[in-house]
């Protein structure tokens, strides 16, 4: 059976506030729970989970396996992961097993899903349209972003950011 063609059109923008530069923030079913504030980021190479979600899913330190490679945060800082865990993400009837790296850092998201999840699902995401589309059962299925939640996460990230040192270079 041929896979359906994944395409985006202006119709896919209906219901979104345009123009915008919002991140794609979705709700996904992870380990049987509907998890809000998940950043779908095709620029990331690993799936990341933050402590609040880890605790909320009732995971324990003994559930983790070692993950020895440091990661670089959005701020450019090196972060040492606490470990990794393989968990199912369900979209519709499709279930994809994902290796989440557990990182003890502050971000307003509960988790980040990245290229590995998108590739296994056969998905394409577009922030402009606030959607993830993927083929399933001969049809195109969608995960729709939550723009209001994305904007709340951005405000939270900005308010939590440490104040920058004033620049004295070139009189700025």
CA-to-CA distance for 138 and 82, rounded, in angstroms?
A: 39
Percent of residues, the chain, with pLDDT higher than 90: 73
For 89, the token pair is 């993400």
- Tell me which residue of 20, 21, 24 sits closest to 130, measured CA to CA: 24
3-state secondary structure of 170: helix
Give the Cβ contact number of residue 68 at 10 Å: 8
CATH architecture of the domain formed by 23-161: Beta Barrel (2.40)
Q: What is the reported pTM? A: 0.87
- 25: enclosing H helix or E strand: strand 25-30
Check whether 23 has a pLDDT greater than 70.
yes
Q: Give the strand order in the sheet containing 139-144.
A: 124-126, 131-136, 139-144
pLDDT-based confidence at residue 76 (cuts at 50, 70, 90): confident
Q: Inform me whether the pLDDT recorded for 169 exceeds 70.
A: no
Q: Which sequence spans correspond to the domains of the chain?
A: 23-161
Which tens digit of pLDDT belongs to each residue from 45-66? 999 999 899 999 999 999 999 9
- How confident is the model over 8-21, as pLDDT tens digits? 999 999 999 999 99
Residue with tokens 């959607």: 131
């Amino acid at each position: 059976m041929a896979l359906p063609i994944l395409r985006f059109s202006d119709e896919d923008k209906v219901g979104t506030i345009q123009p915008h530069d919002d991140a794609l923030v979705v709700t996904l079913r992870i380990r049987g729970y509907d998890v809000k504030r998940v950043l779908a980021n095709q620029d990331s190479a690993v799936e990341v989970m933050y402590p609040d979600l880890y605790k909320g899913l009732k995971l324990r330190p003994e559930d983790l396996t070692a993950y020895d490679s440091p990661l670089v945060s959005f701020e450019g800082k090196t972060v040492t992961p606490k470990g990794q865990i393989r968990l199912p993400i369900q979209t519709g009837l499709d279930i994809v097993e994902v290796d989440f790296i557990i990182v003890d850092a502050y971000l307003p998201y509960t988790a980040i899903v990245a290229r590995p999840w998108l590739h296994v699902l056969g998905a394409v995401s577009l922030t402009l349209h606030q959607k993830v589309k993927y083929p399933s059962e001969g049809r195109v299925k969608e995960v729709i972003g939550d723009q209001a939640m994305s904007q709340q996460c951005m405000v939270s990230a900005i308010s939590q950011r440490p104040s920058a040192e004033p620049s004295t270079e070139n009189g700025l």
